[in-house]
Structures are given as structure tokens and as C-alpha cells.
Structure 1
Amino acid sequence: MNKDDLIKRTKKFAHRCVKLAVSLPKTYLGNHIKGQLIRCSTSVAANYRAACLGLSKAAFISKLSIVIEEADEAEFWLEFIIDEKLKPKYSVQPLKIEAHELASIFIASRKTIQMKD
């Protein structure tokens, strides 16, 4: 995958998470998770886009680290939705897998760029 593909993929991930989040039950827990999931999933897309601005290697690594943390947090909240049975597992699992795959891609990217010293 190239940079443009990943920009599109992370944005699509954010849109899908937002759609799921707004469909959560209107309870205290549902509202809390909704806010958390929207924040971290959109942060994945926004921070990856910012990382691609190419300011410096250090800035890229820093932004990529944020992307990794936010993708992992999104995976956590998606898992939590499944655990709490707020949505059927089949409707959440694909997004949980995508969050994990994105984190894995960006971890590998960070390792690659750090080895180029």
C-alpha cells in the first residue's frame, strides 16, 4: 500500500467507526464509548495525513506513534462494544480487525524508518 492508499483507508476506517458509534445505545456507557471511538478513530486518519506532510523524519515518527496508539485504542473500544454486547459481534468484528491491521501496518512502517539511520 502506498501513502495515498493508506490515507484513503484510514479515512474510510474513521467514517465506518463514526457510523457505528452514532448507532450505539443512548445510555451513559453508549455515549461515553461513542465519544471515545469517534475521537480515536478520526485521530488515526487525521494524524496519518499529518504524518504524510513530510516535515522531518522525527516529525513523521512522532505522528506515526500517535496513529499507532489511536488505532490500538480504537481496537480496545471496539472490543469493549463486543464485550458489553452493545452491538452484534458480526457488525463490530470487521472494524476491530481493521483497527488491528492498521496498527500493525504503522508499527512496521515505524520500525522500517527507524532502521534507516
Structure 2
Amino acid sequence: MVRIVRLSQFLVKEKQAFQLADQIRRSGTSIGANVEEAVGGQSRKDFVSKCSIAYKEARETHYWLRLLRDTNYLQSTQAESLLTDCEELLKILTAIIRSSKPEVPNY
């Protein structure tokens, strides 16, 4: 999340891309905030719900990173490193969500 905040600062200072900086900052920092809320969840259902929101925010962040790369706001090497981190988060969140959902009995 620190890298996302720094990216947002870079976009404002160097590129004057205020709206893009705001979008990537909001979605990127929301991932960690929702995971933190999940840890303090009141039930398994609440935990899964917050992790699912974090997953959606990670998908949105992935979109913004691709857009920033494809519009040359970020160099490919910068974007690829951030995209790789984001993809790892998506895999981790997917595994957490799948393993935390109650099993459905087979009839």
C-alpha cells in the first residue's frame, strides 16, 4: 500500500494527473483497509465479506495500473512491478476467500 501512496504522489507531482492519482490511491489503499477490517470481523461471514471487498478493490487497482501503463503515465517496468504485486494480492485473497467459506454438503 505504501507503493500505491507513493505512486499517487508521483502522479500528482510529476504528471499532474490528479484524478488518476486519486482513483489509484482510493482503490489501492482500500485493499489493506478492508483486510484489516476482516481481521476484526465479528463472524466468518463478515470476514469473507470484507476479504471479498478487498478482492474487488484489488481488481480495480489492477485496472488503474494497466490504464496508467497503457497511457504512458507509467513506464512498463514500473507498471509491471506494481501489477505483479497486485496479482499476488489477488491470488492470496482468492485463496483466503475460498478456504474461509463454509463447505456446502453434497447430496
> So what's the TM-score if we normalise by structure 2?
0.88
Q: Which runs of 5+ in 1 are unaligned?
A: 1-13
Alignment of 1:10-25 (within 5 A): 14-24=1-11, 25=15
The equivalent position to 1:87 in structure 2, one of 68, 74, 84, is 74
Query: How far is the alpha carbon of 1:54 from its aligned partner?
Result: 3.6
Q: In 1, Cα distance between the equivalents of 2:48 and 2:101?
A: 8
Query: Which structure 1 residue ranges, 4+ long, deviate > 6 Å from structure 2?
Result: none
Matched, 1:96 2:83: yes
Alignment of 1:16-95 (within 5 A): 16-24=3-11, 25-26=15-16, 30-95=17-82
Identity of aligned residues (%): 29
> So what's the TM-score if we normalise by structure 1?
0.81
Query: How far is the alpha carbon of 1:103 from its aligned partner?
Result: 1.1
Q: Which runs of 5+ in 2 are unaligned?
A: none
Q: What's the RMSD between the two structures over aligned residues?
A: 1.2
Whichever of the two has the greater Rg, that structure is 2
Aligned residues: 101
Query: How far is the alpha carbon of 1:55 from its aligned partner?
Result: 1.2
Query: How far is the alpha carbon of 1:58 from its aligned partner?
Result: 0.8
Q: In 2, Cα distance between the equivalents of 1:87 and 1:42?
A: 19
